[in-house]
Amino acid sequence: MTRSSRLGGALALLAVLSVPAAARAQVETGKYTGDAFDGHFISLTFRPEVLVVQSADVGGPVLCTSSMLPDRAKILATSDPLASGLVLSLEPDGFRLGSNPAVNGFGVTYYWVAFRPSAQLAVGSYVATGASSTPISVGFLPVAVLVVPEASYMSTLRTASSGADAYRINGALEGDAITQLNDDGFQVGAIGDVAESGQTYHYLAWAAGRGVAEGGYRGDGNDDRSISEVGFPPEYVLVKGMEASGTSANAAAHRPASIEAGVDLSLAVNTKPPEANNIQALEANGFQVGTHSRVNANGQNYVWLAFANLTDGGTGGSSPDADTSGSLARLSYRASPCGCAGGAGAAFPLLSVLLWTGSQWVRRVRPST
């Protein structure tokens, strides 16, 4: 069977299978004003597994995960090693900040994104051996993986829709990095960003399911363009261009729901202030992009990740037409060809299959290599 025949048009196939329901992936967002005091506490109703904080002024996003030691975090916009004085701790009811201006400058507004513990989110670490093709087990097939080095290297992202390629979160295509997504996790190559011998690397991996969506699109340069394939109103969206060479425009754009509706403003994985004309809005079924090359250059390929807040009544992709009678759930399979993978200008097909389990869409994506 050829690639084109596998992707030709929409694929419709119905089957009846017994499928266990996946756990909800949940994210919450918010903002606070810094006071420059060590120990500034932000209250939540849960202990975050992953926390991202970024200034509304200048300075890159700060990432802290449950796998990192206390008082250690990574500034994603740089290759600097994990630093202290940023996020002091992730606690059962929130997080505690240091006095570093990247997270707690006096009078500065900061946006935060906090991921709850979930069966759809794996957070962990590994010590690299320097060997190529090293498998990392997370217990499921991920649709997105971010690898964050403790040492002076850049963080690397790969999604199902980026095909065989991985990208620096604030840069360009990176060969021999995250070389494979598989049924039990992912595989890393031998470069320093993911595998310097003896160095520790942290990872975030997300499984498909209710409240988690990923995909891709080709830029057209048109303003106010809606990307409506998410399937739910997102709480948080990240968009990454699939460029072959690194410039400031290569940095991923991201927007939390805590940026007010109607405000054309977006954060980026760089040290610049938030900008307009990137991710302009979060919408009922996706998000809207402007004309900035970071999100919508004509002919450029992009991948996106979207996450729902399922604690506030959001649907997270549920369907009112589900048939869940008896102990069997009806599955609908449909093909969603992206045609946007493979880096700058060069695309190869993907077979993206969305499975309706009766309570959620579960996405499975296989690159056609």
Q: How many domains does the chain have?
A: 2
What amino acid is encoded at 184 in this protein? D
98 domain residue, yes or no: yes
Q: Please state which of the ranges 131-135, 153-157, 243-247 shows the lowest mean pLDDT.
A: 243-247
CA-wise closest residue to 221 among 301, 296, 276: 296
- Is 129 found in the same domain as 83? no
Give the separation between CA 64 and CA 122, rounded to whole angstroms: 14
Quote the pTM value.
Answer: 0.80
Task: Judge whether residue 164 has pLDDT over 70.
Answer: yes
- Is 41 found in the same domain as 101? yes
Give the separation between CA 268 and CA 232, rounded to whole angstroms: 23
pLDDT score recorded for residue 316: 55
- Is 164 found in the same domain as 86? no
φ/ψ region of 343 (left if φ > 0, alpha if ψ in -120 to 50, else beta) reads left
Name the pLDDT band for 351 (thresholds 50, 70, 90): very low
Q: Which of 78, 96, 115 is the last residue of a domain?
A: 115
At a CB cut-off of 8 Å and minimum separation 6, what does 29 contact? 111, 112, 113, 114, 235, 236, 256, 257, 258, 309
pLDDT score recorded for residue 358: 39
pLDDT tens by residue, 62-88: 999 999 999 999 999 999 999 999 999
pLDDT tens by residue, 80-126: 999 999 999 999 999 999 999 999 999 999 999 999 999 899 999 99
Give the separation between CA 28 and CA 153, rounded to whole angstroms: 28
- Is 107 found in the same domain as 187? no
Query: Of 227-241, 298-312, 337-351, where does the model show the most confidence?
Result: 227-241
- Is 104 found in the same domain as 183? no
φ/ψ region of 163 (left if φ > 0, alpha if ψ in -120 to 50, else beta) reads left
Bridge partners for 125 per DSSP: 202
For residue 50, the enclosing domain spans: 27-115
pLDDT tens by residue, 200-211: 999 999 999 889
Q: Which of 183, 207, 231 is the last residue of a domain?
A: 207
8 A C-beta contact, residue 196 and residue 188: no
- Is 108 found in the same domain as 130? no
279 domain residue, yes or no: no
Give the separation between CA 347 and CA 368, rounded to whole angstroms: 11
Q: Which of 115, 136, 168 is the last residue of a domain?
A: 115
Give the separation between CA 187 and CA 180, rounded to whole angstroms: 5
- Is 162 found in the same domain as 102? no
